[in-house]
Structure 1
Amino acid sequence: MSEAPAPPPSARRRRTFDTFADHPWRTALAVAAVGVLILILLWDWNWFKRPVERAVEARTGRSFTIGGDLDVDLGRVTTIRADALDLGNAEWSDEARMAAADRLDLSIEVLPLLRGQVRIPEIRLQRPQVRLEIGPDREGNWSAFAGDGGGTPIQLRRLWIDDGTLLFLDPEGETEVDVRVASQAPGENDAAPPVAITGEGRWRAAEFELEGTAQSPLDLQDTDSPYRFDLHARAGATRAHARGSLLDAFQFETFGFQMALAGRNLEHLYPLLGLAMPPTPPYSVDGQLQREGTTWHYRDFSGKVGDSDLAGSVTVETGGERNLFKADLVSKLLDLDDLAGFLGGAPESGAGETPSPVQEAEASSSGLIPDTPYELDKLNAMDADVRLRAQRIEADLPLDDMDAHLFLENGVLRLEPLNFGVAGGDIRSNVRMDARKSPIRTTLDADVRGLNLGGLFPDSTLAGDAVGRIGGHAKLVGNGNSIAAMLGSSDGELAIGMGKGEISALLVELAGIDIAEALAFLVTRDRKIPIRCAFAEFAVADGVMTSNALAFDTTDTLIVGEGTIDLESERLDLLLRPRPKDRSILSLRSPLVIGGTFSDPSFRPDLARLGLRGAIALALGSIAPPAALLATLELGPGEDSDCGGEYAR
């Protein structure tokens, strides 16, 4: 059976045409398929670059360009890629660009978009560069991006930063921070990867370095979960360690975290934070740093300053004409020389002390009274309200505790009060320093109450058993920019005295150089001599204390004195004249001269007068021995003096 001949080509074309004519839907489908194929082959997503740029510009008011390619990989999770992104800066900035990136890869889920949800699984940025700066009106260039929280919320799961940089500028605050940011290994459960941070720059004109880690910047948007970080910064010898967590970190007006500070000298915080602190030995403190608007709190901190422990809370209010520094501080054990910087001195150096190298060199100063000038610009730089209480004091002086309240307002410093517990009693004083002009004018008003005489000499075997209560008063006014200059120019009065008590007879006899009785006490046993009274009153003029009255009266000896104390040169020139009330063959009752300096005093008998008495005795001895003996006898011309009533309390 032979096969039928094939139809000619024209017949086949006619049959195909008839098929499409009979089924028009097939024709439409074929045309659409061809159109899609052509569209896929010819489509360029760069056609959408300009619409995207216009949308960003309309939203931010800033120029925005996509200088490279724009590409889209369609799918259930669609990926958008854009190269060479550039975002313009605020008009007031000298730099036209605020942000840029070599590439942006953004993944977005398509199906949730149909339900009005925006889910972005990941954003990757290559070499992003962000410039944040504060303008002339203290407005940040990022303010254009602050929204009202409305609109469709965006769910962003991961942010990956490859070699990013962040530059923060505050020209008025002399601050420039250059930070490099890079994502680390991804977090657990596909969480946003943390970032490593390194940087350097200037903070208030002081150079510093920064390093540490933080959660992904993506986590900053979640205001219900804490944003964790751990950063270390160093500016010269000052170190800071900020760590912990922030809630709603974009609320720059309110935040809090743990902050540790350490350095060689609290004075170094002045250029960094604008806090005019006195010089101190090395310090280390750790507490909770919080901000509430223009008020900063450093709460519940503890640590050490030199050899003293220190704890409490500090508040700095920055909204006024000057910063207001408020503090409530407590020390369980205060090493007094750690406060030397407040007086213009330096902490002690040597074994068991912790001054800085500079302070160790300053400690070699020859003068006992601090002579380092106060810096008037610091005293006028801020206001202060500081309370410091020390439960125990370590010092060469017999100090028990301290309660001081400092006020600094518009260049006027007041210590009201400055109280010390001393030898079972106390010294209560008020100090006022007016630093509004140079030299500083200082007034001191102090009362001495109930000091135990024996407690003033706790390390002395002889004086430690003394009994008696001491009281007194001092009122001085001086001009000068240091403690030494203030005292060296001071005018006023000083009086101190005590009522009835007891003291070692050996001390009294030594003061009178009674050889026989002193030897008797040394080889047998000491005994107590009742004190009737003791007092000293000085008039102070131009830094020189001149005695108006000076006496020490016991049942054994009356000692009277006279002389001067020069506060400017720190020199002593006092003469004590013993008037014994008993008789002794070997009594050499010569006056006692107290001289030298405050740091190196001298005690010596008046040898010239003693030599004269010896010459008379020898002359008399050549005539009749009894007469020579009589010349060495002290008949006790001193008389009892009822002078203790005023100081007996």
Structure 2
Amino acid sequence: MNKTIKILVVLAASLLIICVAAVIIIPMVVNPNDYKPQVEEAVQEATGRTFQVEGDIELSFFPWIGFRLNRVSLGNAPWFSQVPMTRIKEADVKVGLIPLLSREIVVETCLLKGLQLYLGKDSSGKSNWMDLHEKQAETSTSDQAKKSTSENQFSIKSISVRGVEISDAEITWEDQQKKEKYTASSINMKVTGSNLSEPFTASLSMAVDSAKPDIKAIMNLTSQITLELSENTILCKGTQIDIDLQRMSLQQPEKKPLSGKLKLTGDLKADWKTGLAELKNLELASTLEGGPIPGERIDAALAANMVLNWLQQTIVVTCLKADVYNNLSLTGTFNGKKLFTSPVVNGVITLDNFSPKALMKAMALPPLDAMDPKALTEMEANLQFSYGADKAVIESLTVHLDDTVFTGQMTAAHFSKTAGLPSLTFDLNADALDVDRYLPSKKSEKVTSSPTADVSSNKNAKESAELPVELLKSLDVDGQLKIGKLRVYKIPTNNIEARVTAQNGRVALSPLSLNIFQGTLNTDVVVDASLKTPLSSLVLKLKQLDLEKTLGSFMKTPAAGGSAGLNMDLQAKGSKYIDMLSKLDGKISLAALDGYIRGFRLEPGRFDRQKGYSPPAGDVPNLTEFERVGVDFDIKDGLATTRNIKVKTHNASIDGTGSIDLATQRMDMTFDADLQIMVVPISVEGPLTDPHITVNTSRILMNTVKRVGSILEKSVKTGGDVGKGAVDILREGTKGIINLFGGSKK
């Protein structure tokens, strides 16, 4: 027994001596550089690319079996570039010798220095690694058979890697089809650990530089990584990514490049077998300046938890919170499915109370100097949304803006259609809106030009105004709007209801109804841009409008009062404003009952036969009360004509006829004011903005004589005092004529 043990010891010692001798002698007698041609030929045969080892090949056997390559390069695809696809300055890999005897692989730190990797696509979209993939496919069958045999002969108990270091690497991506080129340089990566199943630390840094687009940035990444191979999972804890964006030009030469800092932190757990990835405690903080950013600086923060399954194409985002400009904050949740095929997403977003006015200031927008200094100081919102099947839906919307509450739903669809805008449907409601609060204050209104220039510019603007025909043809809208109370320019309205439709070039605001100053307004507006010559129509009915309250909202003392009504039925052809006026057809009817007109008095009772002009005590001298005012216009080719202007007071009346040319904005009207004692003919001619008013004196005498004759004839028939009646008429008529010519005005 002792003899056997001695023999075994001697054999083991001899084997050890032989191994040590081999480790010492082989490097001395074998030079691996003598086999460079064979190595280069083998790689070239396997890849179809040129392979060169310009530096030395170094081998080691104990206590680590390893090799070191210096200055190695692999050629590029022949159709892409003459620059090598891969260059390596130095590569060093070592495996422990003794652990191999126990079927354990222990890898010393792998070193890779000066890696240069050049990837890209040519002008036809063909990648420079496509031939390598094809070459690999050719040998996959035979390699699989060899792999199966070797796996049966030699199984590995464990694998551990002490570390990986990549230093001074550079990766270039060039897309010749899009004419884009990116370069990531100064890449340094370090992985330290002892076993793939135990946590290890990874760090990565790089500089990114690109000419088109113009980008320059530095990125740093650190993470604590655990690979659980038996469970097919990877866990990254305490991950942090820092990006220093030094320059990003966005094709806006007039603006300075975008720059700033971004910091992303979070924990990741991913299962590559089930495709499930969980991202917890995600936080993104950024500060960006320049570029298109309103206010030239933005501070933003984002936080969320996320669960993504890339195999099932689903995502769930919870605890979402975002903040921008230190003013606007939102929270929400959403989930999605079919992410990579036909995305379907739905969720809830809540905007916390914020000040739009303060946000505008932070964004360097023009200051809002509104009538109400508290306007746009409070806003909050909540909405439920969904997106899918080429359709976005706001299922429930609630917005609080100052004292107004908006609610409703909205849908936009057909985003992918090649022509026209997406279709839009909506149903919106507001309880009460005071627009006057948001109008510019009087002190903010500045005179930028002379009144004459303003009138001229307004006239030119109207004449050159034109319907946006192509835009109208692209609209696809069907919506309803309801407002409980609305105040605009001091005009209070309520119960506003409107429907807007637009399809195939036909746009309609029909119906539109509201209550205004105790009256009701109903209107239908249609523009049909689908016709060769667009056709516009307006039907309007206004009933029982309180004139005094209406005009009182514009002026301190109302110019008129009464109950008014208006009917309009108009049609116009053309797309230009001036053409539409010249082709306008239709009817307009205006009527007012039991009211007054301030500024003059048409009552013969103000004249006394003995005292002359003598208004009663307490009478308002410049106010004419009327029983009825009526005007009917017939419009043809932009010319509005009337033979039916009638004003009826208690003791007087006015009849009128004439025309208004809407295209030239000129009028030609005549009126007969019957004051009982005489009839005063009045002519109104010229521009609507500055008409010329004249009195036909020759007709006054004629009308007075006719009136005297009429009285005489009537008196003869009735047997009255002919002389007295004629004298009275002549006396009062003469007084009226004298007053018209600037005589006594008692």
Q: Normalising by structure 2, report the TM-score.
A: 0.53
Q: Which residue pairs with 2:466 in the alignment?
A: 373
Alignment match, 1:86:
171
Q: Does 1:319 align with 2:319?
A: no
- Residue in structure 1 matched with residue 137 of structure 2 by the alignment: none
> What is residue 295 of structure 1 aligned with on the other side?
391
After TM superposition, give the deviation of residue 633 of structure 1 in Å: 3.1
- State the alpha-carbon separation in 1 of the partners of residues 205 and 469 from structure 2: 51
| CA–CA distance in structure 1, aligned partners of residues 490 and 8 of structure 2 | 118
* Cα-to-partner distance string for 1:160-188 (whole Å, 9 max, x where unaligned): 2444699999x9xxxxxx97674449789
SS at match of 2:197: helix
Q: Does 1:156 align with 2:236?
A: yes
For residue 10 of structure 2, what is the amino acid of its counterpart? A
**C-alpha displacement of 1:564:** 1.6
Q: Answer yes or no: is 1:196 the counterpart of 2:286.
A: yes
Separation (CA, whole Å) in 2 of partners of 1:198 and 1:589 = 80
Residue of structure 2 in register with 1:351 after alignment: 442
Check whether the contact 1:374–1:481 (CA below 8 A) recurs between aligned residues. Answer: yes
Cα 1:186/1:335, change in 2 over 3 Å: closer
Say if 1:630 and 1:496 are closer, same or farther in 2 by CA, change over 3 A. closer
SS in 1 for 2:416: coil
Unaligned segments of structure 2, at least 5 residues: 1-5, 25-58, 77-83, 93-107, 111-158, 214-230, 252-256, 268-279, 309-314, 358-374, 707-722, 735-746
Question: Hey, what's the Cα distance between the residues in 2 that align with 1:24 and 1:408?
Answer: 97
Aligned to 1:127: 207
User: Post-superposition shift, 1:532?
Assistant: 5.0
Tell me, what secondary structure is at the counterpart of 1:556?
A: coil
**Inter-CA distance 524–480: structure 2 relative to 1 (3 Å threshold):** same
The one of 673, 681, 697 equivalent to 1:608 is: 697
SS of alignment partner, residue 113 of structure 1? coil
Q: Distance in 1 between matches of 2:298 and 2:262?
A: 14
The 1:535–1:156 alpha-carbon spacing in structure 2 relative to 1, beyond 3 Å, is: same
CA distance in 2, matches of 1:153, 1:100: 29
Work out whether residues 132 and 167 of structure 1, in 8 Å CA contact, stay in contact via their aligned partners in 2. no
- Structure 1 residue aligned with 2:433: 333
- Aligned partner of 2:98 in structure 1 is none
Q: Name the SS for the 1:486 alignment partner.
A: helix
Measured in 1, the distance between the counterparts of 2:543 and 2:579 equals 28
2:506 aligned with 1:421? no
Displacement of 1:442 after TM fit? Answer: 0.6
CA RMSD of the aligned region, Å?
A: 6.2
Q: Secondary structure at the match of 1:21?
A: helix
The superposition leaves residues 104-160 of structure 1 with CA deviations (integer Å, 9 ceiling, x where unpaired) of 53647665638xxxx675553322479999xxxxxxxxxxxxxxxxx9343223142
- Percent identity over the alignment is 14
Distance of 1:561 and 1:410 partners within structure 2: 45
Give the superposition deviation at 1:508: 9.8
Q: Contact between 2:654 and 2:674, CA under 8 Å: does it hold in 1?
A: yes
For residues 443 and 123 of structure 1, do their structure 2 counterparts lie closer, same or farther at Cα, with a shift above 3 Å needed? Answer: farther
CA offsets, 1:603-635, max 9 Å, x none?
Answer: x56253587579989xxxxxx999675324379
Cα deviation, residue 433, structure 1: 0.9
Shift of 1:521: 5.3
How far is the alpha carbon of 1:510 from its aligned partner? 1.6
* SS of structure 2 residue aligned to 1:380: helix
Amino acid at match of 1:418: L
Q: Which has the larger radius of gyration?
A: 2
Give the deviation of 1:562 after TM superposition. Answer: 1.2
Shift in alpha-carbon separation, 1:575–1:127, aligned structure 2, 3 A: same
**Would you say the 8 A contact 2:240–2:266 is kept in 1?**
no
Instruction: Count residues with an aligned counterpart.
Output: 527
Partner of 1:14: none
Whole-angstrom CA distance in 1 between matches of 2:689 and 2:504: 36
Q: Does 1:448 align with 2:533?
A: no
Question: In the TM superposition, what is the alpha-carbon distance from 1:493 to its structure 2 partner?
Answer: 1.3
Instruction: Identify the range of structure 1 (400-409 vs 194-203) with the bigger mean alpha-carbon deviation.
Output: 194-203
Are the aligned partners of 1:302 and 1:312 in contact in 2 as well (CA < 8 Å)? Answer: no
Distance 1:191 1:427, change over 3 A: closer
For residues 438-475 of structure 1, what are the alpha-carbon distances to aligned partners after superposition, in whole Å with 9 as ceiling and x for unaligned?
6532111222233234444335788689444x444221
Matched to 2:594, the amino acid is E
The 5-angstrom pairing of residues 24-423 of structure 1 reads 24=13, 27=16, 31=20, 38=61, 43=66, 73=109, 79-83=163-167, 84=169, 86=171, 93-95=178-180, 100=184, 102-105=186-189, 107=191, 113=197, 122-128=202-208, 152-157=232-237, 158-163=239-244, 182-184=261-263, 194-196=284-286, 198=288, 211-214=298-301, 223-226=316-319, 228-230=321-323, 247=334, 251=339, 253=343, 254=345, 292-293=387-388, 294-296=390-392, 300=397, 314-317=410-413, 318-320=415-417, 321-322=419-420, 323-330=422-429, 332-333=432-433, 335=435, 351=442, 365-367=457-459, 370-371=462-463, 372-390=465-483, 391-395=485-489, 402-423=496-517
SS state of the match for residue 569, structure 1?
Answer: coil
Contact 1:387 1:404 in 2 (8 A): yes
**Correspondence for 1:145:** none
Give the superposition deviation at 1:560. Answer: 1.7
CA contact (8 A) 1:124 1:159 kept: no
8 Å contact 1:560–1:576 — kept in the other structure? yes
Q: Is the 8 A contact 2:598 2:624 kept in 1?
A: no
Aligned AA (1:510): R
Q: Distance in 1 between matches of 2:283 and 2:263?
A: 6
Other structure's SS at 1:633 match = helix
Sort the Cα spacing of 1:384 and 1:153 in 2 relative to 1 into closer, same or farther, 3 A. Answer: farther
User: Residues of 1 paired with 2:236 and 2:186: CA distance?
Assistant: 21
Aligned to 1:590: 680
**Amino acid in structure 2 at the alignment position of 1:606:** V
